[in-house]
Chains A and B, each alone.
Chain A
């Protein structure tokens, strides 16, 4: 059971010319078991929404609220948000030199669960999760994301999603830069996650392609820092056919 509720969220970033408003009042409620797709043109603030939910220090929340099951998410540190059940799969996963994937995964799992995973089953779990996304288990001994291809980084994000098992997953352009095979593998991982319980998914994407593999319950069109339109899966088909021009023109 988990509900992520975003109300009138306003976010700005500091620029050389002073603060710049990116999110201009976002309203969105993701109930458990629901998959929401957020679609929008470049620069509409989609990724800002993802990073603001996760608590990236670059983004200043100037108004509104984000709650998870009624608890104020914005008052939490980045790691507290993760421990509360939020997960952000990043568009550009970060390289961490000298820290092995296995050490990273174990440390994260220990932090999320509040206790170290049982060694015997843990290794099996990690190997199985890697197998499912067709990632060689040799990656476990490599440094986090270092020298990984774009597709390998995204698969590694899915491995984390499955192992850390959050309540709500925010996937920031997880489909970008993937070939069809990798896209299928990653989508299957997300679907497994969805089916593993009443999970909320916020799928941020520029293209409709991934929605052929991950079926959204709701589609939101994101333009100029806010939701410009919403509907069911059919809205994605319309966007596929007509693009964002209509919305961009309206927002001007």
Chain B
């Protein structure tokens, strides 16, 4: 057989077709080369909501340094957490290819990688908690994390971000065949922190991933979380909870790429906003590729606006290339307190401030239950209570007559 240029080209083409790598406006082509990503101007679709001025130059050429962020590890029995060199083969094993300049810069600059490995068939009894603490915003930090749940293993991994930092990181999540993994990314930053995170998950055959984002703190937090499937039968649940305060920008961009048949995705993000300039952005993209027959997807975002002066942008997108699916849907809502709910509670003697408290806790309660990480439940409820104390409970008992 004579191999010509043409036959190589056609072979590549057919391989491409098999992988079903169609162009999609929801799925920009990634690149590891920083030079391939132009400096964003803010006019690009993917950057139009983000206040670039507050990025400390992360999107341009701000230098990265080390020593500003420390990682404390509390690993469950049998779960291995280690630092590996930047050239480890584990990096990139999720299929992560940087989709924007900040992700590409973090990829290039990360001095090493933190690897969390749950061995085959191991069932971890407790959560593995990595506490990432920043010590200041004077210099930027690039980081890389790889979480691998090997075949048929089961575990919960919590990444808890605290303190002050300007952090750009890539987090890779590999859920091998039949594994069950919960990953919680909890942004409990100080008020001045900036955190740009690209998180990519690869879900194996019949594997389940529950990805949870909880964002309370930080000046600007923008997370791009993407998921794709390595085989049929995989399932991903993406849950998010956020509370945007005065001046805070919290942006969650999600993309589930249904690259295999009989896969499932369920996305529920809920947030509350209060105070002048509080801004929440939620973009929920789902792509159902031609190959992805029999899949099921649902995405939902709800925002509760507690005061004047806040802004919530909520954009669900669904791109469907096959009609042979079980179901696809989305819902998005931005609302204020429901007067009827408040009236009902108050007509039973419950004071207005207490009624508001009940409604906000109620808004988050189902989600907290769904998140189902006992180690974090108290913390989440307590944080909601603290946030409420700032505005909602401070509202005087206004008479409606």
Contact = CB atoms under 8 A, between A and B. Distances in A.
Interface residues of A, number: 33
A90 B344 contact: yes
A77 B352 contact: yes
Contact of B350 (A61, A75, A88, A111): A111
B351 to A, nearest CB: 5
Contacts of A107: 345, 350, 354, 358
Interface of A (DSSP majority class): mixed
B349 interface: yes
Is the contact region of chain B dominated by helix, strand, or loop, or is it mixed? helix
Nearest to B342: A78
Interface string A44-63: 00000000001111000100
Interface centre among B338, B346, B355, B361 (most CB of A within 10 A): B346
Contact of A79 (B338, B352, B358, B365): B352
B109 interface: no
B49 interface: no
Counting contact residues on chain B (CB < 8 A from A), the size range is 20 to 34
B149 to A, nearest CB: 31
Contacts of A144: 344
Contacts of A75: 401
Interface stretch (A91-99, A177-185, A196-204): A91-99
A54 B366 contact: no
Contacts of A95: 341
A74 interface: yes
A82 interface: yes
Contacts of B366: 97-98, 143
Given A78-B343, A79-B352, A94-B344, A57 B400 contact: yes
Contacts of A97: 362-363, 366
Contact of A93 (B344, B350, B355, B362): B344
Nearest to B360: A98
A93 B359 CA distance: 15
Contact of A98 (B343, B345, B361, B400): B361
Contacts of A6: none
Counting chain A CB atoms within 10 Å of each CB, the highest count among B341, B349, B362 belongs to B349
Interface string A157-182: 00010001000000000000000000
Interface in B265-314: none
A50 to B, nearest CB: 11
7 contacts: A77-B346, A78-B346, A78-B352, A79-B346, A99-B361, A107-B345, A111-B349
For the complex of A and B, the 3 pairs showing the least CB-CB separation, nearest first, are A98-B362, A98-B365, A82-B349
Given A77-B399, A107-B345, 8 more contacts: A57-B343, A77-B397, A77-B400, A78-B343, A96-B362, A98-B364, A98-B365, A107-B354
